[in-house]
Structure 1
């Protein structure tokens, strides 16, 4: 019954990322955030009042659906608010805040042992997001990119004088004359499907989709060796998963600062590929050896699984962040939602394996191992985004191309060629 509940919640997140991503591009980031909070409070409280298992799974589906809208809208707002030098630092800070919440969850569950009471306690902090509609304005970057100049003008007139201590009233006549020309334009919003008409952007998005799917898919495939070592020890398993996430985020922070986005993603993908390949060989070897040597092989398999889970976790988080920087503002919600949906679909494959009691695990592992080998080649197609501004339109996003790492030789200037004389030389 537990795998069915997990599949319902995760599939709700998959559809939530896709739907709310499109809605965020059409109606704004802030309305999607507030709408998601209101509905998750409704469905979350309804889950605690479930009378049967079918009702519980259905409500968990919609709870995951709304939670995806909250995570997606907050991610976009943070990316579009930060300058280029602060985008990655704020993303890492957000990841560590989430991990602190995961560390505190067992303590909260200790004091509220009933699951319905724990459900209510977890939902209470979401009430703090509702005042965001008055505290935080809509993304100015999105308003300008979609040509909603009237709303952008209201935002500028309200916030710029207050934050910069400037008096705009003295220049109001000149500003109104200039803004009147653009305020008459109608808002221009873009569908995610228009990405098909680009030359490079659609390739980058597909590469990152495969990376995120592979990262979380093989991450949960690698957990088999960990769960066999600490079987039926829930708190030990949970603590190891949180520790892996902490070490993965720390390693991702260090490598990105040293090597940039693309080479860090390639490094973590290579580590994931090697760890999963070695673990697969050890599992095959364990079936041929005697029981006396299995303890050593279990320990080695646990070590490779631990390393592979750290790197695969970093692959998915870095792919999501990469997509937020590459995708233009007009379709950033849909593009980022597509990447996050692929990542959660990788989690669904692991829950499906649990339904069959891990039957077909070897095929599942080999499939994602082949995906890591494909991703190793595809990552080289991605551009580097360190220090670059976010693209606003499809044209801006399509201009992000990969720069070659080969040093071109400078051609020496040749001597000027003299034009031939129209007359033959005199003998």
Structure 2
């Protein structure tokens, strides 16, 4: 029987979640805090404070004497100050409805909330406001590029080396961004940080998944999500204490250099080494894990596995992202997973943009949005072990249905509409946590990172399109919420076509996927690689 064991059964012998794995999870969770910092810091560094044209106060001796309340509407939002009104004598005035001229004297910015942002330093307002938006889009494009590039490289060269390179890029370019001399260099540096974010997010998650036993595998996604949420909340406090954008950018980036000790602390993926024919390195790590978990392995077991590994991996076949769609069963799984990635992030950010205007302090709002996601991630701990498939389907259905119901609520019942929108966000947040775990189990080891990479690319595409979704309001005020409802419901229907992966061994090859389809049709016979 020993010669028939696969890697999941080896993990069951040496411990699927022992001391070795618990220490590993410390290493893969710590970077998540800094990932949240980099992902969300633009909320503060790119904020647009209340601003007025200097020409409106020609006699003002200092910015402190400017009355910024004159350019603040009753709802607390800043009015446009891109044009300066003229009175009938041609002198500057502050009266609405009068002829206006373009501001020529530059702007003064309120320092009530921020000491400085990239907007105040480089005057990214009025005719230059689009540059701020462009910078955000370029950063998101960096996430897209990183998902594709680092996903492919990790499958080819290993998860660990890509994590180390990504952490280095994140720290070096993140610190450099704090000293950027102009907006264009700052944007280029942020683009590089964006690529590294994808490299870290995908690979630390996959390393955790590949070292964890099938029963505890969901922890790789859920625990890292908690630490990302903790970083979400912590950023509010850090940004509250540091109001200058350069100092804030430096504060979130410089600690990244401490991760240099990962060169010695972070292990490789033994599962990846096995799948790529590097059995000696794999068994060295397996022995170390077994010893640390207090479950030393039997020498006979090791010898049998060496023979089995030689039979399966002596012929090294190169794989690419094309293998995700080359065969019928793999193609069906891949396309459905890619759509689920896309729709989860599209609706997640679409809802966040729609319900985030509470009119509260920006720091308090940031903290609340971090806290509200915790229950959604917690509930998945109780559902994932029972069924990955049903959990994904159920939360997509909850999210989509709640969004659709909002279109039937009268506009004067805003509290009910907001509650329904929050339920929708709850469902989508839970679904987004599940898709990480589900994807890693659907894709085989030889192209798992490629699959996660393309899935992440689809997710980033959804993130880029989410703000544009609200342009549909010109067609119908209800159109965005209809889209937020129908897209997840379509995803829940497609999920019915995916296999159940809870407590099942991870597939190693594409052949395993194709044969599993035959096995399912024959009544659930296990794939022949077991």
TM-score range, shorter chain: 0.7 to 0.9
- How far 1:131 sits from its partner (Å)? 1.9
Measure how far apart 1:155 and its partner are: 4.2
The question of whether the paired residues in 1 share the 8 Å contact of 2:345 and 2:463 is answered with yes
Task: Establish whether residue 246 from structure 1 lines up as the match of residue 362 from structure 2.
Answer: no
CA contact (8 A) 2:401 2:489 kept: no
The partner residue of 1:281 within 385, 408, 412 is: 408
Are 1:205 and 2:321 counterparts? no
Using a 3 Å threshold, how does the CA distance of structure 1 residues 90 and 68 change in structure 2: closer, same or farther? closer
1:56 to 161, 166, 186: 186
For the pair 1:331 / 2:460, whether they are aligned, the reply is no
Offset at 1:346? 1.4
Aligned partner of 2:150 in structure 1 is 20
Q: 1:140 to 1:358 in 2, by over 3 A?
A: same
CA contact (8 A) 2:337 2:439 kept: yes
Q: Does the C-alpha gap of structure 1 residues 116 and 326 become closer, same or farther in structure 2, counting only changes over 3 Å?
A: same
| Alpha-carbon offset, residue 254 of structure 1 | 2.5
Deviation at 1:110? 2.5
Q: In the TM superposition, what is the alpha-carbon distance from 1:178 to its structure 2 partner?
A: 6.1
2:499 to 383, 386, 395: 383
Query: How large is the RMSD of aligned CA atoms in angstroms?
Result: 3.2
Measured at CA, do residues 308 and 189 of structure 1 come closer, stay the same or move farther in structure 2, by a change above 3 Å? Answer: same
Partner of 2:242: 112
Is 1:81 paired with 2:208? no
Gaps of 5+ in 1: 287-293, 407-427
Residues 128 and 201 of structure 1: CA distance in aligned 2, closer, same or farther (over 3 Å)? farther
> Contact 1:215 / 1:316 at 8 angstroms: preserved in 2?
yes
Q: How many pairs are equivalent?
A: 388
Equivalent positions of 1:236-315 (< 5 A) are: 236-257=364-385, 259-282=386-409, 285-286=410-411, 294=412, 297-315=413-431
In 1, Cα distance between the equivalents of 2:415 and 2:292?
A: 61
**Where do 5+ consecutive residues of structure 2 fail to align?**
1-128, 524-530
Q: 1:91 and 1:159, CA in 2 relative to 1: closer, same or farther beyond 3 A? A: closer
SS at match of 2:214: coil
Deviation track 1:156-202 (CA, whole Å, cap 9, x = no partner) reads: 5776677769699x99xx89x96997799464432121122323222
State the alpha-carbon separation in 2 of the partners of residues 189 and 298 from structure 1.
Answer: 56
Deviation at 1:139, TM superposition (A): 0.7
Equivalent-residue separation in structure 2 for 1:339 and 1:165 (angstroms)? 36
Give 1:341's aligned residue. 457
CA distance in 1, matches of 2:364, 2:342: 27
Q: Decide whether aligned partners of structure 1 residues 104 and 202 sit closer, same or farther in structure 2, where only a CA change above 3 A counts.
A: same
C-alpha contact 1:316 1:343 (8 A) present in aligned 2: no
2:233 touches 2:366 (CA, 8 Å); kept in 1?
A: no
User: 1:234 aligns to what?
Assistant: 362
TM-score, normalised by the number of residues in structure 2: 0.66
Match of 1:67 in 2: 197
Q: Secondary structure at the match of 2:513?
A: helix
Contact 1:329 1:390 in 2 (8 A): yes
Indicate which of 105, 126, 137 corresponds to 1:7. 137
Q: TM-score, normalised by structure 1?
A: 0.81
CA drift at 1:314: 1.4
Question: What CA distance in whole angstroms lies between the structure 2 residues aligned with 1:255 and 1:153?
Answer: 34
Give the drift of 1:6: 2.6
* C-alpha contact (below 8 Å) 2:287/2:296 kept by paired residues: no
* Cross-structure match for 1:289: none
User: Alpha-carbon deviation of 1:359?
Assistant: 5.7
Query: Which residue of 2 is the match for residue 421 of structure 1?
Result: none
CA distance in 1, matches of 2:134, 2:479: 22
Per-residue CA shift, 1:200-223, capped at 9, x if unaligned?
222122112211211221122223
Q: Distance in 2 between matches of 1:52 and 1:359?
A: 36
Displacement of 1:141 after TM fit? 0.4
2:499 & 2:311 partners in 1: Cα distance? Answer: 33
Instruction: Give deviations 1:301-349, integer Å, cap 9, x for gaps.
Output: 1111110011111122211210011111111111111222222221111
Alignment deviations for residues 79-126 of structure 1 (CA, whole Å, 9 cap, x no partner): 001111111134322211221222211222233222222222212342
Contact 2:290 2:297 in 1 (8 A): no
Secondary structure, aligned partner of 1:134? helix
What displacement does 1:395 show? 1.4
- Say if 2:324 and 2:451, in contact at 8 Å, map to a contact too: no
The 3-state SS of whatever aligns with 2:256 is helix
* 2:273 counterpart of 1:146: no
Residue 438 of structure 2 is aligned to residue 322 of structure 1:
yes
**What is the CA-CA distance between 1:260 and the residue it aligns to?**
1.3
